[in-house]
Amino acid sequence: MLTIENLRVSTHSGRTVVQDICFDIAPGQRVGLIGESGSGKSLTALSIMGLLPPNLSATGTISFDGTALLGASERQLASIRGRRISMIFQEPMTALNPLMTVGKQVAEAVTIHSDASKNAVRERVLELFADVQLPDPGATFDKFPHQLSGGQRQRVLIAMALANEPDLLLCDEPTTALDVTVQAQIVELILELAAKHHAALLFITHDLALVSQVCEEILVMKDGRIVERGPLDKVLHAPEHEYTRGLMAASDLRARDENAQLYTVKSASSGTYSPGVALAQPKRPAVGGVIASGSDLRREYSHSRFFRRSATVAVDGVSFELRERARLGIVGGSGSGKTTLLRMIAGLDQPSSGTVSVSGSTAIVFQDPFSSLDPRMRIADIVAEPLTRAGLSAAQRVERVREVLVEVGLPESSLERYPHEFSGGQRQRISIARALSVRPDILLADEPVSALDVSARAVILNLLEDLANSYGLSMIFVSHDLSVVREICTEVLVMSQGKIVESGSIRDVYGAPKDPYTKKLLAAIPTLKPAGKAVT
């Protein structure tokens, strides 16, 4: 059905970013395209759709049912794009128009390829919303993207992609940054609807556990090339290329090397990696007295609409304690209240009732390093910004910035550069450097690795572990990813609908969960599919 031969994508200056790409997708087949950020996965999909940015051009051959897509006119592409080939994009907030209701946006996708009446189009959209399990399709039709949760917005994109029952569905990281329960639901939904419409899948991701649940064939990309390909079992359980083995090791948060470090793609080349085996356990410092606490915290947000007032309760009756040098994880799905709780601890929000007590200084690392770093400022100025109130001389500030950049593993040449010149993992290192520049007592981390690929995630988690030990930090680590919290934290709070439903040591909560919601979160953690198990 789809054939790609010798695909090459280049910039107008002549730099090649994707080269020698060759593969086929048969009707109904599910193919995974995996690799780190910058490997060329998304550019390959955009080439198929004819949606490359203006500064890039593609050569080679892409044909779909005998129709050449490269070099086709916009009119020819428009007759295929959205009708026979559709794409689910990674970030629904940027893929959806914030000024148009989601119902109208999906209706637009239907009317482009149909002359159906307005009422028939609306009925089709409501049918699609029901198919993707959106609550109250009629009410959802008239909502704007910002009024929906992340998982609901992703369901809208799936409805839009399936509006014309395409033969091929391109899924570009469709579950990145979604909490584990929503991720599991979205993957199940994509598989169910693809089977219903007999659609083939090209599933793009950096998550090997996820791709093992979805695909039959795997293509592994590195630096713009396919370095390994084959059936799922062969690639994941007997990988031939060193890079594939590295990706597998970096995905395995239960494995550690002889220095008790999580494996990265690079460190896995040592040859010591064995699935699920920790050659050494990290040494955790002894905890001290209580350094931060909350008592019966409640946070309400008031809303006014048509002279009616209502309130949303984000945090409801939460109490906690954080001890010196302890690492407290706060986990829960989207809307559970975990980030609101962290903001109150940081002093960025005030509780409606209850009290927060913090004995030491705090610093925060945000989820998205690109939006939390000022793009107009040099790295030297970004890292130095918190030091302006630290009573240091200009020379002392410069020296401290250099010192902390070395600690997070960035060269001195980074000082004069700007955020857009760095990868996502490097930008998160800069965020950590800024937070640690003032030597805080408590580090607050809000989903610090959720936007990173598996190798960058392992690097940042190792870095946080090392710095927490060397600084003697207490840490609060907010995440929807329970597998990450298990490796970085010593204690955990599980939140749902603004309340703590379970708390305790990592060993107790993960080993013998009591609350049904905790059990649901743990069951939703993606794991590599065992060899020989058929993808359904």
Domains, the chain, with CATH or none: 1-84+168-240 (3.40.50.300), 97-163 (no CATH), 241-279 (no CATH), 290-523 (3.40.50.300)
Q: How far apart are CA 251 and CA 263, in angstroms?
A: 8
What is the pLDDT, as a whole number, of residue 404?
93
CB 7 within 8 A of CB 44: yes
What average pLDDT score do residues 290-312 get? 81
Q: What is the pLDDT of residues 63-119, one digit of tens each?
A: 998 889 988 888 888 888 878 898 888 777 778 899 999 999 999 988 887 788 889
What is the pLDDT, as a whole number, of residue 303?
64
List C-alpha distances in Å: 404 to 59, 258, 383, 410, 436: 45, 26, 9, 9, 7
Q: What is the average pLDDT score of the chain? A: 89
The answer to which of 230-244, 307-321, 438-452 has the lowest mean pLDDT is 307-321
% pLDDT > 70, the chain? 97
Q: How far apart are the first and last CA of the chain?
A: 21
Q: Is the pLDDT of residue 390 over 80?
A: no
What is the pLDDT, as a whole number, of residue 102?
94
Q: Is the pLDDT of residue 534 over 50?
A: no
Residue 514 structure tokens: 């009591």
Task: For residue 285, give the DSSP letter.
Answer: P
Q: How far apart are CA 131 and CA 128, in angstroms?
A: 5
Task: For residue 489, give the DSSP letter.
Answer: -
Give the per-residue SS3 of 232-283.
HHHHHHCCCCHHHHHHHHHHCCCCECCCCCECCCCHHHHCCCCCCCECCCCC
Residue 191 structure tokens: 């598989």
DSSP codes of every residue in 145-206:
GGGS-HHHHHHHHHHHHTTT--SEEEEESTTTTS-HHHHHHHHHHHHHHHHHTT-EEEEEES
Q: What is the pLDDT of residues 115-161, one digit of tens each?
A: 888 899 999 999 999 888 888 899 999 999 888 877 788 889 888 88
* Global confidence as pTM: 0.84
Residue 494 structure tokens: 């599980």
The answer to which of 72-76, 308-312, 433-437 has the lowest mean pLDDT is 308-312
What is the pLDDT, as a whole number, of residue 376?
92
Q: What is the pLDDT of residues 260-280, one digit of tens each?
A: 999 998 888 878 888 889 999
What is the pLDDT, as a whole number, of residue 422?
85
Nearest to 490 by CA among 326, 338, 332, 342: 326
Task: Please report which confidence band the pLDDT of residue 344 belongs to, taking 50, 70 and 90 as the band edges.
Answer: very high
What is the pLDDT, as a whole number, of residue 530?
54
395 burial via Cβ count (<10 Å: 0-12, 13-18, 19+): exposed
Q: Is the pLDDT of residue 533 over 70?
A: no
Number of C-beta neighbours around residue 290 at 10 A: 14
Is the four-CA dihedral 307, 313, 317, 320 of positive or negative sign?
A: negative
Q: Is the pLDDT of residue 525 over 60?
A: yes
What is the pLDDT, as a whole number, of residue 175?
81
Nearest to 86 by CA among 30, 159, 192, 29: 159
Q: Is the pLDDT of residue 26 over 80?
A: yes
